[in-house]
Structure formats: C-alpha cells, structure tokens
A and B are shown apart, each in its own frame.
Chain A
Amino acid sequence: MNGPLIVQSDKTLLLEVDHERADECRRAIAVFAELERAPEHIHTYRMTPLGLWNARAAGHDAEQVVDALVQFSRYPVPHALLVDVAETMDRYGRLTLSKDPAHGLVLTTTDRPVLEEVLRSRRVAPLVGARIDPDTVAVHPSERGQIKQTLLKLGWPAEDLAGYVDGEAHPIELAEDGWALRPYQKQAVENFWHGGSGVVVLPCGAGKTLVGAGSMAQAKSTTLILVTNTVSARQWKHELVKRTSLTEDEIGEYSGTRKEIRPVTIATYQVLTTKRKGVYPHLELFDSRDWGLIVYDEVHLLPAPVFKFTADLQARRRLGLTATLVREDGRESDVFSLIGPKRFDAPWKEIEAQGYIAPADCVEVRVNLTDSERLAYATAEQEEKYRFCATTATKRKVTEALVRRFAGQQILVIGQYIDQLDELGEHLNAPVIKGETSNAQREKLFDAFREGEISVLVVSKVANFSIDLPEATVAIQVSGTFGSRQEEAQRLGRVLRPKADGHQAHFYSVVARDTIDQDFAAHRQRFLAEQGYAYRIVDADEILAGG
C-alpha cells in the first residue's frame, strides 16, 4: 500500500509524479480520467462520466478501471466509488445505434427498461420512428447526431456502430522526405483511425497539422478541413503541399475571399456561420462533395452553429484537433457526442521532455501604477478600468527594456488594444499587424519575420490562432482578452515550437499591480500553471534596472 495515487471522494485522482511507479500509473489512468492539473509535484486527474464512457468507447471495461484504481492507490479506495464507476461505465453501450439491412438506422438495446425510459423522454420521442420489436426502434438517419446528443444528456450514451461512408476516394500519401511523423503523432493517427471518429488533444506546437495530414493519408479520400481563419487556412494548405503528395491544385480554399471546392477543401468557421436573410448560404459546402473525412481544427473554438451542422454529418469520419478540451462555454459533452470521444492525449510537459516543444520560461512582470495613475484608475468607470490599467505607460517602458534585453532574437509583442499597439510599434520601430492589415500584407510581414529580416513584430489578437512563426523565441504580452485561459495557452504556443538551436523560449506577461489586470492575469495563467508552466514573478524595477 504505497502507490502513487490518491483517490479523492470527489472523484479526482491525485498522482504523485516523483513516485517510482508514477509513469506506469499515469498510463493506466489516462484512459479514463482527464488530466486536470499538472503542476510540479502532484497531478490531478478527474473521473467524469464522459471520461469513463470515453474509456468504454476505447474498449476498456470497468474491471480495468477498478483494477487500476485499486492497484495504484495509496489508501483503500471507498467501495461506493468503485461501485459508482462500474455502474456509470455499465450505462455505456446499453443502447447502440446500428445499421439494419431492412430498417436502416436503428437504436437497439440489451436492456429493455432503458429503452423504455429513453423513449418516454419528450426530447427523444421526435427523433425516433416506428418500434420494430421490443428491443429495437427505428431512427431517422438525419437525427443520428441529435439522438446521440440527447441520449448523452439523459445519461445513457449510445454506442455508434452504424459505421461510416467511405466517401469519394482520392489518393493522398505522406511525403516523408527527410522527416517522419513523431511517435506520438503516429499513435494519435492510429488511435483516431481505429476509433473511427474522435478528438486528438496535443499541445500547441506539437504538430497537430501533421496528425491531420496523417489521418488524411489513412483515409485516402476527399477531405473537408474546417479552420478558424484565413491565415490558418493558408498555413494548412502550405503544410499539406509540403508534407503530402497533394499539389496546390488539389487543395481549395473556401473563405470570405475565395470559394474553391477541390478534393481537399479548407474552409473557415467564419464563412460557414455567415448568415444572410436568416439562412446559412454556405452550408451546401458540406453536401458539395462526398467527403470521406472532416477535420475540425481548434475544436475547442467550434462555434455553436457548426455543432448543429455536424449533427447531420454523423456518417462521415470526423477528426477534432485541439490543444485543450476546456471550453469556456462548457460544451465538452457536445464535442463528445458529435465529433467523438477523445482518442489521444499527451501532457505538454511530457512532449517537452521528449524535446518536441521548446522549454519555456514564463514570467509575470508586475508594474506599479504611478500615484496619479492610481487615482485616475480608482475613479475610472467600471467598464473602462481594464483598458486603463492594461495600457498604462509604464508597460511601454518595460516592453522596451525587454526588447532591448533580447535584442537579436525574434520577438513578438502581443496586445489587445490597437492604440497601445500602435504606440508600441512606433517606439520599438516595428511593424504592427492588426485587423485592418490586409492578408497579403500580413503574409508579407510574416515571411519577413520568418526570414529574420525583421526581428520585432507587434500583433493584435488577429494573430492568436494558427499563425506559424517558427523562430519566435520571445513573446511579450501587454494586454489580453480579459481572463481568457485559452488565449493565454495559444499565445504561449507561439513560442513553443522547437528552436533550431534548442534555445529556451521566453514568455513575458506585463501586468499592472493591484488592479483587475492582475486578477485577470491570475485567471489566465491558471491553465498554464496547471499544465506545469510555473510563472515567475518579477518586479518591473528589476527589468528596468537590468535593461
């Protein structure tokens, strides 16, 4: 009885990482518990019904889960908790969706009372058709996603065995010349393909695009890729051309500016969710080809309408890619039921340890407001307060000092407020990329940055997602979208790509002391701190003195 694991009554699992059996234990529990926090000594995993059903979907049974808990636990595991685990897992698979040769899509049960219970629900009734026999009921094929979503909410998740359409075949191969998929990427592709549909969770910079490319090479069929914005779309295209047998002509971009539909089409969420006169005019994209695979990039940002469309696409293979399953809107269960269960997950620190992402030094710089600023801050209107403290003049001085300190390295300055960025750009003598910057101009600047022609770039939140700046080694955040944890993770991701010289990355967050800026910063950092990125705190004076 000296295991590395402690089972808590609220169903969190505490894993002592320095324990000799910690690795073994982590592998055993990762299949059914979500890593919630990974600070330096004790990692916290959480067991949720979703997680347990994920495990069931991946072919693990309650026996294995109970075994893992009992085997690694330091203290006896409460009997009630084990019983609860078994009961929860037992709920998965009582209902199955499958294809019946005579009746089409059917919902069958191995436990008749369960079917009776769900059929009695008002939300299920409109989704099902005729009762075929006591254990089987027909389901309208168009409601396959809806019914899965509804059943999950009722606590009886259905196992979807109805299979997938192959889609229109299209030859795609990985062009592994001088590079190869990393072991964990291979594993992710394999897990996904074996499971049929689902979500792969990898840290920023760990090569999610390649997991997408690998999956496409498995599917060898026409593919629809949904991404967050146009820049990201271009980068996908660039990567795919470079890493696979696909050519420029085979890849289409479907965005605000271009409407190409090719065997591989990359579309932005934005264009799909554009609404004109109460309808979504671009929805036909989903039906424009017989897609064999649909890839959702940054699935944690998937907008609500896309969930609705996805419900209708249950017959196609779906791959979700994300750095974190944490959704600020709490719709994780929709991701589970509509895209699929989590198929692969690797903690950031582990991939960092393998050398695939750069080690990062995270620093929070506390600046003091001057007395007059404090007075002004105290009397500012509530909604103006954050803007006021986030754009304090002292931050500019600290930023300049930091840029001086890292002179010669590739530096990104990231902020929220345009006038603050313009002012910084002016003082640092650096170009500013913001919403109004044209795409052509953006790419030109990015290229210049990549080539090292310019070493400092000031960007607004338009650069939050999926831009690829391989040689950025320092990021300085001067302001952000309030307390978004997700944005902080993305921004850190900008500097995590492995450096050619194994250089350490730096992430500075400049924060005004004793203001709501500091509160927001604390909230933003929580996710990263839980991932094991401990922030150091330094006072602005040190930077100013040292710079």
Chain B
Amino acid sequence: MSTPGPRSLAEALRLRDDASLSELLRARPDLITPVPTDLTQLATRAGTRASVVRALERLDRFALQTAQALAVAGDPASYGELLGLMTGDRGEPAVAAALPRALGTLRAQALVWGDDERLRLVRTARELLAPSPQHPSPTGLGPTVQEATAGMSPGRVQEIVTKAGLATTHDSVSAVAALTGLFSDRARMAALLAEAPAESREVLDRLVWGPPYGQVTADPAPRLRWLLDRGLLLPTAPGTVVLPREVALHLRAGRAHRTTEPMPPALEATAVHRPQVVDTTAAGQAYTALATVEELLKDWDEGGPAVLRAGGLSVRDLKRTAVALDVAEPVAAFWVELAYAAGLLASDGEADERFAATPAHDEWLQQPADLRWTRLAEAWLTATRTAGLVGGRDAKDRTLSALGPGLDRSAAPEVRHRVLTLLAGLPQGAVPSAESVLARLAWERPQRREDDLRARLARWTLSEAELLGVTGRGALSAHGRALLGAPAPAADKAAEPSGPGDKLPVHHTPVVVEPLSPAEQAVASAAAARLLAPLLPDPLDHVLLQADLTAVAPGPLQRPLAAMLGVLADVESKGGATVYRFTPGSVRRALDAGQAAADLHAFLAAHSRTPVPQPLTYLIDDVARRHGHLRVGAASAYVRCDDDALLNEIMADKRAAALRLRRLAPTVLAAQADPAALLEGLRAMGFAPAAESAEGDVLITRADAHRTPPRTPPEPVPDGPPTPDATLLAAAIRAIRAGDLAATAPRKPTAAPLAGGDLPRTGSAETLATMQAAVLTGEALWIGYVNAEGAASQRVIAPIRVEGGFVTAYDHTADEVRTYPLHRVTGVAELADEA
C-alpha cells in the first residue's frame, strides 16, 4: 500500500467496503445488537473483552495459532516477522502457504488491522493471548527481556550485561536493549550458548517449549548460576526464574509454536458402503424411529409418568420407559427428548402434573410416514436440548433428568449441523471414523476447557443420527443429505473407487452449507421426505399363522390390524417383523375386550395368508367356552331402537357392513365402529340417529387418551444473536455509515469553553470513544460524574481500562484508582494542555 496505513481500528474499518463489513458482521453478529451508531462505536465494540473472547473462541486452530504468534511478536509486527514466528528459521512451505488465509480470517473478523508492514492485533486480543504468569500462553513462551527486567536494580542489570560479554552502559534501558539485541542475534547467541556447560544446556532444554518458569533455591546450583549470571534465566519472583522470550525463540529456531497445523486434518474413512445399502439401512432405522416414538407415546396414553417437582422425568420412570421400549436408558432418554423437542409430548400442567402426548401428536400420527420423520429430524437438528447429558450432573451436582431443566446447550445445533456437513463432504457411502471427525472439529474450534463439550456433542450427534436414520451404517444417507440442503454429490464421484485400502484418507470435498432459514429448511425437508418415502416399507394387511400358536407379521402391519393382534396375542419379538404368541391369557384378554370367539375366528381367517391351524382354533374355542356365559362385552358404540323392523333394515343394508354391526338383542345393535363413525355412517344411509350420552356403558378408548392443552415446542436457546441475513446487514451498515458520517463530518469547533461550574456533556458513544482513546494514550480526562445519591461532581481521571460498562481509572481528584459505571458519567472533556 502506498498510502500511509490506518491509524486505528476504526479507520481500518472505514476503509473496508460493504461486502467486507458484511462479512465481519456475519462472523460476529454480537456487534450489531444493537446496531452501532457509527464505525467508531463499531470499532469500540469490536474491541470489548467479551466480544473478542467470543471471536477468538470461534477461530480455527491455525488462525488462533497465528493470533497467538502475533501476540508474542512486536506491536506492530511486519508480515515477515509473523511468517518467521510461524515457520521458524527453516521455513515450512505448507505453513507459509496457509498463513495468508489465516491472516485474512483475522483481518475479516477485525481482530487484526493494519497493512502487511504494520500488522496490529487488537489490544484486547493481545492482552488475552500474550503470555503472563497468570495465563501461560499456549506458545509456552515467557515474557520478553524488557518485561522480565522491569523491576530489576540497575546494578544487577549491568552485572548481567558484563557477564554476557557486552560493554556496560550508562542506564538500564540501553543495557536491556543491548541484551535483547544479543539474545535476538542468532550468531552471537550461538556463540554464547556454545560456552554453556552441558548441565546448563539441559536446564534450557527443559524450559524451551514451556512452561518457561522454574523454581530455584536461595543458593542456586552452579548450572543455574551460570544461566542466571548471563540473563539467560531471569528472576521473576523470589524462588522463581523465567526463560526470556528471546532466548526461547532462539532455542526454538524462531518458532512460536512447537507444531503448527496449517491444514485441517483430513477425515479418515473406515469403510465405504454402497449408497443403496446406506439409504435402506437409514430408512429402516427411520421407520424404527417412528415406531419407537409412537410406541412411547402410546405407552403414556393412559397416565404418563409424573413430572418431578424440579421438572423432568424421574430415573425410575426413565428406566421403566427403557424397559418398555427395549432399549438402553440413554437411548430411551434420546427418544423422550426427541418427542419433546418435536412438540409431541409435554407436561399437562395440571395439579398432579404428568407428561402426556400433545394434540400435535394426534395430528402427527395422521401424517404419512415420511413427513412424520422429517418433523422429528427437523426438531432434532435445531434443538438445543441435549439428551446425551441426561444422567450426568450439573454444576451444583444435581442429577440432570430427561425432560428436566439444564439440558440446553447452545452449541448443540451448530455442532450437529457441522458434523453432518462434514459427512456430506465425503463421497456417498463413506464412513468416517469418529476420531477423525472429532479431530477435525477440534481443529476448527479449539477448546480450551478440559470438559470438551463440543467433542461430546459431536459423538452424540453421530450416534443420534444413526438412531434417527439420518445416517445408515455411519454414512450420511441421501435423505439426510437433502435434509441439510447439501447438494447431492455427482453420480460419477460415487462410482469412483475409494482407493486400494479402506483406511486411506478419502478426498474430502468441502461442502459449505450454512444453517438453513425456516423457509429453506421446509424446502429441504420436503426434498428429504420425497427421497425417503419410497424406501419406507408399506404396512401389510396379513400375518402368517403357525401351529405352534404363533403369528408372524413379516413386516410392519396396518395400524388397526397391529392394534387388534396386540390384544389377541403377546408380542414375542420386534424388529423388521413382529412375532406374536397366542396364549390362553392373551385370547382371554381379547375376549375380555369384547370380542366373541366367532369374531376372533373371522378376524384370523381374514388376515391370515395361510389356513388357520387347528390348535389355534381349539385354543380360542377352549378359552371362549370357559370364558363363561356372562357377556361383559366391549363395543365401541351401539344402536338402540324400539322398532325391530328398523334394525332389521339396517342390518340388511350393505352399506352398514363397514360399521361392523352386530345384533345383541332384538332392539340393540353393537358396532365396532366408534360412535362418531357410526353416527356418520347411519346418517349416510339416510337415518336420523341421535347420539346418546355416555353413561358408563359405552367405552370409547380414544376418549381416554390423555392430552395436554395446546403446547408449543421448546424454543431453541441459541448462543448469542442469530446470524443476520442480508437485509438486516445492509440496513445495519447503512445506519452505521450514516452515523459515522454525522460523527466525522468536519464542523466548526463548538463552542465556548466550558464554564467552570458546568459538568461536561457528551453523548455516550463519544464518552466511550474518548475514554478508549485515553486508555491508549494514557491522557487524563475531565469528567462529569453523578454518584449513587444523585450528587454531581467533576473529576479528573486517567483511564486504565474500559470494559463491561465500567471505566477503571486513576482518579487525580481522589488520588486513587477507582471504578466508575459509564452510565453515570455525564460527559468527558480533554484537559487543556496546561492542565
């Protein structure tokens, strides 16, 4: 750049075009909530601690390493200096090639500004990343010679300089500069170290990659003494010494990091399945998911589990559910949470609070299977509730229960989306190892904390995606891909052989898929449903009856048939097929449920592909015979009429067949159809029936199903504001530009100097900016301040730090360091020069 570079971050931002500002705001959406009035304010906000921490946490490993290197470089640093720190003396082409990208990222995020000659890391980032005794840097570097010798007596400094073989100087500053010069000079330093005793070299080798601090006794051993004498180790506190940064860099051949990772780790495919196998497996699992959720809620139809006082499901209820679903407890927790996230179940909010299905569940049941699945999958993708946490403990050591509080994790949707996007980048049917996915995520977003929530979330995502049928055999299915809105990979790519060995890293085509807006998601879901629908099995209308008193349904059954069989026989095993066993108990249950032996025979004959085996006929007849003559039948509805002839007419009518009417007595017909259908049916036949109130003799199973009042599904709890869309961004930038113009337009100096008694008055943005500037320059300011009692005063302060709405400053008036809330500062003015 020929023009002189910008002098502040605000200026640097002012030089950027709209697209680049838009990129900044997209990456750091917290900067426009609320929309800043001008670019100065935007720059100020971009420099606040909270925002910088947030931005740093979102950097990939190499960009973070670059930022860390800048934090230990000079301020400003040239691109060459930075490159040296990243690659070392030997140079690494891969790192050198990746560095412009990383720097670009840092610049785009307004963490670094200035041209290549004068790169500046924003001050807050430098404070966060630079090594200090409290916060050791990931680089493992210590303070510079200058920082480490700050409190040392001039005499001691001169001694060191002499021992190091330099001429004495008049003052400490030049002595320290000379020492720094020596340590930074590779050739002279090599000569100095060549004289070092071997044991002393060992000490240096131990400290070189950090931590750079070591303990010494009051009377150091000779090998330490040799190093201390020459300033190769400098004392920091009594008993502690540090390896100065320049020395460490020399020993490391100039590298700030022991290892740099310029490229994201490749995803390693452990297996490649045929896409068809993946899709059908996933579809099978998707069907299982639907069946499981349905079974779960059916189980809770009559009085679901109670809500704990603290909210959530008790451990015992979860166990019971797990047993009922025949799955492990964590898996049961996943299904429960999934149904909750999809709005299919909720607490009923009554005095004796219980969980139950919502009305939305009933609507859901009516939908075709593919739409039911996308509803679940969408809910899963966007939910911040995290079933994997169930059974763990929160910060207060309370058990986290399913459906209970404390399960929201803001990062969950983003991690889920990222993991699936990574899978989408692989060729169709390729299965990455979980480790390589985790390694990739860790590179993209390094975590400092020990408990690696993102890694756990990623693992849960992989297993949950499999449970839900988004993936099959570990590879992303076609409908899963569609759900993400990711483009289907080209067909020829899928056909390509993956390489000679299975474990070879598969070429990963980066697919950039942004999280979808609700409208886009609806389109993507519809596409996924279209792909999934043909893969789901069609419900069957028949079973195979066998002489060993079992019935096998070789696939999913139509719902009414499954329900009836579920009563007439006990389910012995579930899966692709269902095996039912007829026992005297189960047949009795069916008879108790109001079926007559003849009905059962008819039912079996109608739905069996094979002749009904004789032992089964005998079983039913035997049980029916012993069932007694008293008939406590269960009919869904009845028709009562004093006129026998009218009933004869109904029975004779063919259209009544669908109602499955049965004559109980000359004046009574029983129907298997429910009252509503019966009423409708009879009306359709031209009769005018009237419904009778249920006085306990009509049992309508549907009416018993317990429902909550209408409920909305839980809102996701995102981390920070959502990524702004283009319209908002454009509007925000326009507003900022306008404000900036207003603020920076040249104008006549306002005004009369302040009269002695008046408080200075400035706008809050200007107050903040002035304070920030004063922190940088170290100037003192004159402020007006209103204390908690409302009393106004004027003070002269030298701001030290501005953050979180407070300014910490040395108060010249009170002669001590104080902290003032910014909102109580009425205004600020720079002091006249003579003050």
B202-210, B215-223, B393-401, B570-578: which one contacts chain A? Answer: B570-578
Which listed residue, A12, A16, A70, touches B573 by the CB 8 Å rule? A12
Residue of A nearest to B327 (CB): A9
Query: Chain B contact residues: over half helix, strand or loop, or mixed?
Result: mixed
B285 x A76 contact (CB < 8 A)? yes
A74 x B618 contact (CB < 8 A)? no
**What CA separation (Å) do A420 and B84 show in the bound complex?**
105
A36-44, A245-253, A267-275, A297-305: which one contacts chain B? Answer: A36-44
- Shortest distance between the CB of B289 and any CB in chain A (Å): 11
Task: Determine the chain B residues whose CB is within 8 A of the CB of A12 once the complex forms.
Answer: 573, 575, 579
Task: Determine the chain B residues whose CB is within 8 A of the CB of A41 once the complex forms.
Answer: 544, 546, 552, 610
B577 x A14 contact (CB < 8 A)? yes
Residue of B nearest to A14 (CB): B577
Work out how many contacts link A and B, with CB atoms closer than 8 A. 102
Task: Determine the chain B residues whose CB is within 8 A of the CB of A70 once the complex forms.
Answer: 277
Residue of B nearest to A76 (CB): B284
Task: Determine the chain A residues whose CB is within 8 A of the CB of B282 once the complex forms.
Answer: 76
B546 x A42 contact (CB < 8 A)? yes
Interface residues of B in 542-556 (CB under 8 A from A): 544, 546-550, 552, 554-555
Task: Determine the chain B residues whose CB is within 8 A of the CB of A44 once the complex forms.
Answer: 579
Q: Knowing A41-B610, A536-B614 are in contact, say whether A8-B575 is a contact too (CB < 8 A).
A: yes
A108-116, A170-178, A526-534: which one contacts chain B? Answer: A526-534
**What CA separation (Å) do A78 and B472 show in the bound complex?**
9
Which listed residue, B281, B546, B577, touches A77 by the CB 8 Å rule? B281
Which listed residue, B281, B577, B615, touches A534 by the CB 8 Å rule? B615
Which listed residue, B547, B555, B618, touches A40 by the CB 8 Å rule? B547
Task: Determine the chain A residues whose CB is within 8 A of the CB of B288 once the complex forms.
Answer: 78
Task: Determine the chain B residues whose CB is within 8 A of the CB of A79 once the complex forms.
Answer: 281, 285, 466, 472-474
B626 close to chain A: CB less than 8 A = yes
A9 x B326 contact (CB < 8 A)? yes
**What CA separation (Å) do A77 and B283 show in the bound complex?**
11
Task: Determine the chain B residues whose CB is within 8 A of the CB of A7 once the complex forms.
Answer: 575-576
Task: Determine the chain A residues whose CB is within 8 A of the CB of B633 once the complex forms.
Answer: none
Q: Knowing A41-B544, A76-B283, A534-B615 are in contact, say whether A9-B575 is a contact too (CB < 8 A).
A: yes
B537 close to chain A: CB less than 8 A = yes
A544 close to chain B: CB less than 8 A = no
B574 x A10 contact (CB < 8 A)? yes
A265 close to chain B: CB less than 8 A = no
Interface residues of A in 57-73 (CB under 8 A from B): 70, 73
Task: Flag A1-18 by CB within 8 Å of B: 1 or 0 each.
Answer: 100001111101010100
**What CA separation (Å) do A73 and B537 show in the bound complex?**
14
Task: Flag A509-547 by CB within 8 Å of B: 1 or 0 each.
Answer: 000011000000000001001100011110000000000
Task: Determine the chain A residues whose CB is within 8 A of the CB of B472 once the complex forms.
Answer: 76, 79
Residue of A nearest to B544 (CB): A41
B285 x A39 contact (CB < 8 A)? no
- Shortest distance between the CB of B334 and any CB in chain A (Å): 13
How many B residues have CB within 8 A of the partner chain?
36
B280 close to chain A: CB less than 8 A = yes
Task: Flag A27-62 by CB within 8 Å of B: 1 or 0 each.
Answer: 000000000010111101000000000000000000
Which listed residue, B547, B554, B576, touches A39 by the CB 8 Å rule? B547
Interface residues of A in 154-197 (CB under 8 A from B): none
- Shortest distance between the CB of B462 and any CB in chain A (Å): 11
- Greatest chain B CB density within 10 A among A37, A74, A78, A530 is at A78
- Shortest distance between the CB of B108 and any CB in chain A (Å): 41
A10 x B615 contact (CB < 8 A)? no
B284 x A75 contact (CB < 8 A)? yes
A9 x B574 contact (CB < 8 A)? yes
Task: Determine the chain A residues whose CB is within 8 A of the CB of B550 once the complex forms.
Answer: 37, 39, 42
A537 x B284 contact (CB < 8 A)? no
Task: Flag B268-292 by CB within 8 Å of A: 1 or 0 each.
Answer: 0000000001001111110010000
**What CA separation (Å) do A6 and B543 show in the bound complex?**
14
Task: Determine the chain A residues whose CB is within 8 A of the CB of B709 once the complex forms.
Answer: none
A74 x B576 contact (CB < 8 A)? yes
Task: Determine the chain A residues whose CB is within 8 A of the CB of B574 once the complex forms.
Answer: 8-10
Interface residues of B in 582-622 (CB under 8 A from A): 610, 613-615, 618, 622
A14 x B579 contact (CB < 8 A)? yes
Q: Knowing A8-B575, A8-B577, A79-B473 are in contact, say whether A535-B547 is a contact too (CB < 8 A).
A: yes
Which listed residue, A8, A73, A77, A536, touches B579 by the CB 8 Å rule? A8
Task: Determine the chain A residues whose CB is within 8 A of the CB of B576 once the complex forms.
Answer: 6-8, 73-75
Task: Determine the chain B residues whose CB is within 8 A of the CB of A42 once the complex forms.
Answer: 544, 546, 550, 552, 554
Task: Determine the chain A residues whose CB is within 8 A of the CB of B280 once the complex forms.
Answer: 1, 76
- Shortest distance between the CB of B541 and any CB in chain A (Å): 17
**What CA separation (Å) do A7 and B552 show in the bound complex?**
13
Task: Flag A74-116 by CB within 8 Å of B: 1 or 0 each.
Answer: 1111111010000000000000000000000000000000000
Task: Determine the chain B residues whose CB is within 8 A of the CB of A1 once the complex forms.
Answer: 280
B573 x A8 contact (CB < 8 A)? yes
Which listed residue, B283, B573, B615, touches A535 by the CB 8 Å rule? B615
- Shortest distance between the CB of A383 and any CB in chain B (Å): 23
Task: Flag B515-543 by CB within 8 Å of A: 1 or 0 each.
Answer: 00000000000000000000001000000
Task: Determine the chain B residues whose CB is within 8 A of the CB of A80 once the complex forms.
Answer: 466
- Shortest distance between the CB of A368 and any CB in chain B (Å): 12
Task: Flag B352-395 by CB within 8 Å of A: 1 or 0 each.
Answer: 00000000000000000000000000000000000000000000
- Shortest distance between the CB of B308 and any CB in chain A (Å): 30
Task: Determine the chain B residues whose CB is within 8 A of the CB of A40 once the complex forms.
Answer: 546-547, 610, 613
**What CA separation (Å) do A530 and B581 show in the bound complex?**
12
- Shortest distance between the CB of B573 and any CB in chain A (Å): 4
Q: Knowing A41-B610, A78-B288 are in contact, say whether A530-B577 is a contact too (CB < 8 A).
A: no
Which listed residue, A14, A78, A536, touches B554 by the CB 8 Å rule? A14
B549 x A529 contact (CB < 8 A)? yes
Task: Determine the chain B residues whose CB is within 8 A of the CB of A526 once the complex forms.
Answer: 548
Task: Determine the chain A residues whose CB is within 8 A of the CB of B618 once the complex forms.
Answer: 537
**What CA separation (Å) do A535 and B626 show in the bound complex?**
22
Task: Determine the chain B residues whose CB is within 8 A of the CB of A513 once the complex forms.
Answer: 622
Task: Determine the chain A residues whose CB is within 8 A of the CB of B474 once the complex forms.
Answer: 79
A529 x B281 contact (CB < 8 A)? no
- Greatest chain B CB density within 10 A among A70, A79, A526 is at A79
- Shortest distance between the CB of B596 and any CB in chain A (Å): 20
Residue of B nearest to A366 (CB): B618
Residue of B nearest to A537 (CB): B618
B573 x A537 contact (CB < 8 A)? no
Task: Determine the chain A residues whose CB is within 8 A of the CB of B466 once the complex forms.
Answer: 79-80
- Shortest distance between the CB of B358 and any CB in chain A (Å): 28
B615 x A6 contact (CB < 8 A)? no
**What CA separation (Å) do A14 and B553 show in the bound complex?**
10
Residue of A nearest to B285 (CB): A78
- Shortest distance between the CB of A532 and any CB in chain B (Å): 8
Q: Knowing A41-B610, A537-B615 are in contact, say whether A76-B575 is a contact too (CB < 8 A).
A: no
Residue of A nearest to B431 (CB): A79
**What CA separation (Å) do A405 and B613 show in the bound complex?**
26
Residue of A nearest to B556 (CB): A75
- Shortest distance between the CB of B150 and any CB in chain A (Å): 53
**What CA separation (Å) do A41 and B610 show in the bound complex?**
9
- Shortest distance between the CB of A263 and any CB in chain B (Å): 46
- Greatest chain B CB density within 10 A among A16, A41, A80 is at A41
**What CA separation (Å) do A79 and B277 show in the bound complex?**
11
Task: Determine the chain A residues whose CB is within 8 A of the CB of B473 once the complex forms.
Answer: 79, 82
**What CA separation (Å) do A530 and B615 show in the bound complex?**
13
Can you list 25 A-B contacts (CB < 8 A)?
A6-B554, A6-B577, A8-B574, A8-B575, A8-B579, A9-B573, A10-B574, A39-B546, A41-B552, A42-B544, A70-B277, A75-B555, A76-B277, A76-B280, A78-B285, A78-B575, A79-B473, A80-B466, A82-B473, A529-B547, A529-B549, A529-B615, A530-B548, A534-B613, A537-B615
User: What 3 A-B pairs come out closest when comparing CB atoms?
Assistant: A8-B575, A76-B284, A534-B547
| Known contacts A14-B552, A76-B282, then 8 further A-B pairs from the complex at CB < 8 Å, ordered by chain A residue | A8-B577, A14-B554, A39-B546, A42-B550, A76-B277, A76-B285, A76-B472, A534-B614
